Amino acid sequence: MPAAHNHHNTTEKSAPLASNLRERLQLIQHIALDMDGTIYRGGTLFDCTRPFLTQLTGLGIGYTFLTNNSSKSVPDYVAHLHALGIAAAPEQIYTSTTATIEFLRATMPAIRRLFVLGTTSMRTEISAAGFSLTAESAEDEPEAVLIGFDTELSFSRLCRAAYWIQQGKPFLASHPDRVCPTDQKTVWVDCGAICAALKEATGRSPDAVLGKPAPRMLRGLLQKLELRPEHLVMVGDRLYTDIVMAQHAGIMGVLVLSGEATVAEAARHQPPPDLVVKNLAELGRILQTTHEGKAS
């Protein structure tokens, strides 16, 4: 059945783009796409997502899916997207766990033994990256403690993490989100809130918080893809993670209004996003126009 959302195409007649914005859009070679709120909501893919991705391929623009949610590994995300009808390769997915592994390798190369407070999926990914995971025992001493979004959180493991943090071990968090969005009647207590409990217990805040809005994820992506900042754009639905990260990394930030942020919040945000669109369909139309105008 055709989608019923196409009755308000007011965006077709949106104001013409400022010439500097048009020029910046013409330089885009790759898009970093947030997932929840941008390409889908919960388990529902937006109608415009697949046509948008096809359009990007037609324009010769690459894309990577970016998420702070460290409860799922890259193979889990590949399966999740596949179930929604998106064929994504592992190298097209960049999570806060990926960013954490890169951070450890770059800044703490001597550290190999970690106590990870995270899901089985996250621990498997960390272990596959060559780190050894210490057991829940005072005898098995780690070199650092890593906290993720642990949906399998147990009291004894939380206490063990607190113990090693209290002993002065480096304390890392995969991302700062306090809650994870859900359409269920509950609150999903995320990594930032787990870290807040540990801070209350130990008096220590994390030494490093990876994931959005830290610019490291986008800088890592630029390095991996060998792109300059003007060739990449971040597209997401949250001002305080997606847009702030883009601003910190010195790349273009596009806010979609299909998720968390509202028009009013976008208008109040300082500095404002480079571009605000209703959804990916509107962004696709804008890119189509700017890129058609490019071949001179």
Tell me the per-residue pLDDT of 101-120, one tens digit each, with 9 for 90 and over: 999 999 999 999 999 999 99
- Asked if residue 12 belongs to a domain, the reply is no
pTM of this prediction exceeds 0.75: yes
What CATH number is associated with residue 62? 3.40.50.1000
| pLDDT of amino acid 257 | 96
- Asked if residue 60 belongs to a domain, the reply is yes
Q: What is the pLDDT of residues 239-270, one digit of tens each?
A: 999 999 999 999 999 999 999 899 999 999 99
Residue 287, pLDDT above cutoff 70: yes
- Residue 46 sits in which domain range? 18-68+212-292
The pLDDT of residue 3 is: 43
Total domains in the chain come to 2
pLDDT at residue 59 tops 50: yes
Higher pLDDT, 47 or 293: 47
Looking at 209, 242, 268, the residue that finishes a domain is 209
Query: Which contacts (CB < 8 Å, 24+ apart) does range 229-232 have?
Result: 230/24, 230/27, 231/27, 231/28, 231/29, 231/30, 232/28, 232/29, 232/30, 232/31, 232/32
Position 255 in a domain: yes
Looking at the structure, tell me whether residues 108 and 202 fall in a common domain: yes
Q: Which residue has the higher pLDDT, 292 or 226?
A: 226
- Report, as an integer, the average pLDDT of 88-95: 96
